[in-house]
Each structure stands twice: as structure tokens, then as C-alpha cells.
Homo-oligomer: A and B are copies of this chain.
Amino acid sequence: MPVEMSRDGKGSPEREPTIHDLAREAGVSKTTASRVLNGALNVAPETRARVLAAVDLLNYRVNTAARSLRTTKTFLVGLLVPAVSNDVFGRIAEVMEETFRRDGVGLLIASSGWDAAGERIALESLLARRVDALVLSLVDDRSESTAALLASIDRPIVLLDREVAKIRADSVLTDQRSAFHEAVEHLAGLGHERIGVATISTSVRPGREGRAGFEAAMAVFGLESAGELIVPYNEINRASGRQVADRLLEAGATAIVAGTPLAVTAGILQRLNELELEIPHDVSLVSIDDSDFASLFQPPLTVITRSLDDVAHCAARVVAARLAEPDLPPQVEIVPMRLVVRRSTCPPSVRAE
């Protein structure tokens, strides 16, 4: 007697069961098996039960590749971020993954490394996998070539805090403008007149909006937002943060709004420390995005923050809506930011130069 050990559930890990095996086990056609697998409603309850029992017995799992080939959908969405290791993007990725998982959708994550060339490659790899939709946090939303690439794609795109001209896309934005307004309001209220801001480059929406929000707020409070008080950081590292700190201090800032990622903020703090400038007595500091770091630093940092989970849920919802209804008008969701006052801000002292 030949060794026949199929359908024993576990143990001999042979060929994975196919829908054919499933149908045979349940005594129905592949068509019917497929119907219950896909939750079609026109199936007799009893038949459905038989198929489901067979699924359990055989430990059947649908072959996604075959399904994709047939339906031309991959049930995969691609997420492109500058760096998953970044605390903000890491959390967004985590929550999105978990959210999509409930719908049987996988999240393919790619990091650009804050670099245009890296971004191109990451994007290509996502496209090669034929993801059903793309969620993007680009390094430069003004790039013509990126815009051209995205325009040619014909797949749903949701932009995370970016705006790309001439393409059809949904977006989830952060209200940077009001964020900077709140920061300035807080600082101006404390009596600061020379408020400096470290911010991401204008090649990206938060840089443009943050700057605009800052300037508008300064005007509202009757303060001068001189050009030298707005300095973009160039790279995501400490050196860049130290440089920014120097320039802002040179410009006479008594308070700094650090619209910077952690590594850059770290550089700013490091530089202030070296110069023996105490926070908040010598310099007040407002940082963007909350973290263990911010709340545990001495002094605990006053921050402008948002719910990263909201951003992620929002993005997932937008993707789902778009996939369900491709002809929806462009969706735009705005996630608010709020100020959390801690101990890194106080009235300015009269510093002797």
C-alpha cells in the first residue's frame, strides 16, 4: 500500500492544499468553494458549512498569487517613507499595517533614506510588486520627475503631508500652519520677540506651511520674522542640528521652535549644552512631535504634537474608500496639532552679549 498521507492537517508538510482539494473534500465544485471563500451570499447554508469544515480540516489557505493573477489585485498597499526607523514614521507604519491586516491587506514598506535616488528605487520596487495603492511621504514634492512618474501610474495614491501638482491623489495633511501659530502665540505670550524656527526644507509641504504659519503668526503678534530667524536643516543628523542652533543664536533668537526630527533636535540640544546655554532660562525651546525623549529630557520639552495613530487610521481609511470607490473626488483629511506646554519655555531673560 502506497504511503498516502495527505489531509492529516499537520506533520507532513507536502504540497499545500489547493481549491481543488478543498472542493473535493467538501464534495462541491471549485466554483462553489470559491464562492464561500469569497463570502458570496448565494450559497446554501449547509453547503457553506461543509466547505468551511473542509477549510479547517485541510488547513486551507487561498493562494494569493493565483487570486491576484485572476483579479488583477494584489491586496497589498505600498508605504513609502523617508525612514521606518524614524519614531514618527515607524508608528504610522505600525498602525497602518495593523489596520490593513484586518481587511486582509498587506503593507509593503519601503524607506527612501531621505534621498531622491533612494526614493526612486523604493518607489520602483513598490510598483514592480503591483501594489493596489500607494501611500507616500516623498522627500521632495516639487520634483518634476517624481510628479511625472506618479502621473503615469494609474493607481490610487495618498500623499502624507505632501502636495504634488498636476496629479490625482488623496491626501492626509497635518495642520502645520496652526501648529506654528500656536507655538508663536505661546512664546510671544511669554514675552519673546526674537523667535527662531528650525524647519524642514520648502521642498516639502510642512516646510512651506510651517514657514507660512510662522510668518503669519509673527505678524499677528507684531513681531518681525526676519529671514535669518527661519533656518532649514539640510540633513537628518546632529551636525545639521548644531549648525542650525548656531545660526539661530547668531540671529539673536531667545526662543527656538524646532520643527525637526529627533536626530536634528538632538544636535540643537547638544549645541546649546556645549555653549552652556540653559533651557529655558537662556533659550526657550518648543519641539515638534512628542516622544519619550521629549517628556523625559531635563527640562521636559514643550511640544507641538499630533496623534500619529490618527494619521495612520486616516490614511488607511482614505485608501479603503478610494479602493472601494475609484471615482470619488479627491479626499483631503487634516489632522490637527496641539501645543503641550512643559518646562522648556519661559519668559526671556536679558542676556548680556
CB <8 Å contact, B128 and A62: yes
User: Using Cβ atoms and an 8 Å threshold, which residues of chain B touch A11?
Assistant: 152
CB <8 Å contact, A64 and B297: no
- Known: A62-B128, A85-B87. Contact between A101 and B110, CB under 8 A? yes
Q: How far is the CB of A261 from chain B (nearest CB, A)?
A: 10
User: Using Cβ atoms and an 8 Å threshold, which residues of chain B touch A109?
Assistant: 84, 93, 97, 107, 109
Q: How far is the CB of A281 from chain B (nearest CB, A)?
A: 15
Query: Is A342 in contact with chain B by the CB < 8 A criterion?
Result: no
> Which stretch (A39-47, A263-271, A326-334) binds chain B?
A263-271
CB <8 Å contact, A111 and B94: yes
Query: Is A6 in contact with chain B by the CB < 8 A criterion?
Result: no
CB <8 Å contact, B97 and A84: yes
Query: Is A91 in contact with chain B by the CB < 8 A criterion?
Result: yes
Query: Is A353 in contact with chain B by the CB < 8 A criterion?
Result: no
User: Using Cβ atoms and an 8 Å threshold, which residues of chain B touch A13?
Assistant: 152-154
- Known: A84-B94, A152-B10. Contact between A64 and B130, CB under 8 A? yes
User: Using Cβ atoms and an 8 Å threshold, which residues of chain B touch A121?
Assistant: 101
CB <8 Å contact, A66 and B64: no
User: Using Cβ atoms and an 8 Å threshold, which residues of chain B touch A91?
Assistant: 85
Q: How far is the CB of A299 from chain B (nearest CB, A)?
A: 10
Instruction: Write the residues of chain A forming the contact surface with B, with a CB cutoff of 8 angstroms.
Output: 10-11, 13, 16, 61-66, 68-69, 74, 83-87, 90-91, 93-94, 97-98, 101, 104, 106-111, 113, 121-122, 125, 127-130, 148, 151-154, 262-263, 266, 269-270, 292-293, 295-298
14 A-B pairs besides A84-B93, A94-B111, A297-B298 with CB distance below 8 A are A63-B130, A64-B129, A84-B84, A84-B90, A84-B94, A84-B109, A85-B87, A85-B91, A85-B94, A86-B90, A97-B109, A106-B125, A262-B292, A270-B296
